[in-house]
Amino acid sequence: MRRPGTTRLRRALAAALGALGLIVVATTAEAHNGSTGGALPTYDHVVVVVFENKQYGEIIGSADAPYINQLAQDGASLTDMKALTHPSQPNYFNLFSGATQGITGDGCYPPRSMTAPNLGQELIAAGKTFASYNEGLPNEGSTTCTSGQYAQKHNPWFAFGNVPLNTGKTFAQFPKDDFGTLPTLSFVIPNLCNDMHDCPVGSGDTWIKDNLSSYAAWATAHNSLLMLTWDEDNYLGSNRIATVFYGAHVRPGGVAGAAYNHFSLLRTLEDLYGTGHAGNAATASPVTEVFDTGGSEPPGGDLTLASPGPQTCRLAQACTVRLTATGGRAPVTYRVTGLPLGLTADAASGRITGRPWQTGTFQVTATAGDAANATATAHFPLTVTWF
């Protein structure tokens, strides 16, 4: 039975909070795609290569790409990976910064005009190293728009003032054999022919075999990873693209039924090194199924984070949710996304406290990270009711 005055009280409270812009009935959209949230390897080096404008079926299973298919067979392949948009350039920004940053076409952007969080900035802030190796770039740190078969539109890092220009290198600077000198994470961007944009699939396949097969072989024995992905399809399909993982701690086989995208790849790269999450990567699920630590966890070992299960709080009332991580190497810290206004999480203790000022059901993602950069993730719904 409804208590007298309840309706009037609700209306009054809604009006007051609405005037303050605090009532937002919404949920955090997260495509949870079957990821188990298991521990990820902590790689010494990761190299990400981005190719262009090819559908999944033009690469995987194609006789025109024998070397890439060998990598996919001996490594892991995402079978349901999709690009987020068209044309090329916004997808590169999605992969690097978790958002298009307002980029909708392939035109030249003003160099160093953006300050949004991005993978390069996050890695450097975490004490790691970052670089991009750009084929055809006239010289290190050049912000030119085009030069021969080089195109700025495939190189988003030059748009960000919080990424040092000297991290933008020519491909001639990529190590030929001493791969231990590579940065923690680097992107390799072939030119407009070798990335398959202007030339056939076979050109790109031959290029990567000639230029990165030595690194691929080295990576398997040196705790390192090679990742291949594409920016978009050829506009004739559903934007389904190939993505291949090859190297140490990779479980061979195809990963089906997981609807990953460029935000998922960004989240994975961030979680490998325990950085923050840029843009939409904060609510994306990392790719975990492709990794196999061979029975031993990364340094820090067996870090786990238990989900507290469904939680309920009352609007404007004190609420506490406790997160508990076990294992790992101290200190363990916590990050939480998807909370309603009014609730915050303490990074040291994992306690979520406050008084929520939004109603609805919120899909919350909690991540624990330890001193060895191991991470563990838990997901749970938090519902805020009126009374």
Instruction: Tell me the percentage of the chain whose pLDDT exceeds 90.
Output: 73
- In the block, tokens 């994975």 appear at 268
Residue 4 has pLDDT above 80, yes or no: no
Final residue of a structural domain among 283, 311, 341: 283
Q: Are residues 245 and 109 in the same domain?
A: yes
What's the length of the chain? 387
Separation between Cα atoms, residue 38 and residue 305, nearest integer Å: 10
Number of domains in the chain: 2
Minimal CA–CA distance to 188: which of 142, 132, 127, 242? Answer: 132
Q: What is the pLDDT of residues 185-209, one digit of tens each?
A: 999 999 999 999 999 999 999 999 9
pLDDT score recorded for residue 348:
85
- In the block, tokens 């809604």 appear at 14
Residue 20 has pLDDT above 60, yes or no: no
pLDDT score recorded for residue 293:
65
Question: What residues does 345 pair with on adjacent strands?
Answer: 352
Q: Which helix (H) or strand (E) holds 203?
A: helix 201-221
Separation between Cα atoms, residue 276 and residue 122, nearest integer Å: 6
- Across the range 69-81, mean pLDDT stands at 96
- Average pLDDT of the chain? 87
Final residue of a structural domain among 258, 283, 308: 283
Lowest average pLDDT, out of 146-155, 288-297, 331-340, goes to 288-297
Return all residues near 172 (Cβ < 8 A) that are at least 6 apart.
none
pLDDT score recorded for residue 258:
76
Separation between Cα atoms, residue 65 and residue 61, nearest integer Å: 8
Q: Does residue 14 lie in a domain region?
A: no
Range of the domain at 252: 45-283
Q: Are residues 65 and 165 in the same domain?
A: yes
Instruction: Tell me the percentage of the chain whose pLDDT exceeds 70.
Output: 87
Separation between Cα atoms, residue 166 and residue 19, nearest integer Å: 48
Q: Are residues 322 and 257 in the same domain?
A: no
CATH number of the domain that 327 lies in? 2.60.40.10
Q: Are residues 303 and 271 in the same domain?
A: no
Residue 350 has pLDDT above 90, yes or no: no
Q: What is the pLDDT of residues 216-272, one digit of tens each?
A: 999 999 999 999 999 999 999 999 999 999 999 999 988 887 789 999 999 999 999
Check: CB of residue 153 under 8 Å from CB of residue 106.
Answer: yes
Q: What is the pLDDT of residues 352-362, one digit of tens each?
A: 999 999 999 99
pLDDT band at 76 (very low <50, low <70, confident <90, very high): very high
pLDDT score recorded for residue 302:
66
Lowest average pLDDT, out of 26-35, 96-105, 294-303, goes to 26-35
* Identity of residue 68: I
Separation between Cα atoms, residue 72 and residue 322, nearest integer Å: 41
User: Helices 66-74 and 201-221 meet at what angle, rounded to 10?
Assistant: 30
Q: Does residue 201 lie in a domain region?
A: yes
- Across the range 93-122, mean pLDDT stands at 97
Q: Are residues 303 and 279 in the same domain?
A: no
- Say what the pTM is: 0.69
Check: CB of residue 15 under 8 Å from CB of residue 350.
Answer: no
